[in-house]
Amino acid sequence: MTPRQQELVRTSFSLVLSQEERITELLYQELFRLEPSTKALFRGDINEQRKKLMRMLQIAVENLGDKATLQTMLFNLGMIHQSYGVEEHHFVSFGKSLNFALKSVLKDAFTPEVEASWIAAYHYFAVTMKNFPHGTDAVQVPHN
């Protein structure tokens, strides 16, 4: 990501937060439409999950400039996701769903440049989550 893209993701995030309910609703709706099999992986309360996703995105966006902190966090998150049964290809439909939700809700504010910046940010998050050091002791997280 370029510094300009980081800045655009950061500055557009306040708008995302102000519309987080609608965005996360659309995101999961679209994910389950594109990849119906993922629905069964969500065993907890989906409304709580929507909040957890947004809080994590917020922390990730705030730490875009601190790659070391971000990497540790995303490696952990990636390990947890593997234990939830999330597969690598799911990240593609999740990314498309996030993009769809942002575009639908932010409308004109989601300019091509802002869109490209979000795609780059999501790509970075997803690649880092998928590339956690495999073979080390995985963190154990209780399922709901």
Q: Which residues of 61-85 are buried (b: 16+ CB within 10 A; e: fewer)?
A: bebbeeeeebeebbbebbbbbbeee
Q: Which of 91, 100, 110, 124 binds ligand HEM (CB under 6 A)?
A: 91
| Residue whose C-alpha is closest to residue 52's, from 27, 88, 89, 82 | 27
Q: Which of 1, 53, 120, 138 binds ligand HEM (CB under 6 A)?
A: 53
> Which among 14-22, 41-49, 61-69, 130-138 is the span making contact with ligand HEM, rule CB under 6 A?
41-49
Would you count residue 84 as binding ligand HEM (CB under 6 A)? Answer: yes
Q: Which of 94, 100, 110, 124 binds ligand HEM (CB under 6 A)?
A: 94
Cα atoms in the 13 Å half-sphere on the side-chain side of 25 = 6
CA 53 – CA 71 distance, rounded (Å): 17
Interface residues with ligand HEM (CB under 6 A) are 38, 41-44, 49, 52-53, 56-57, 77, 80-81, 84, 86, 90-91, 94, 125-126, 144
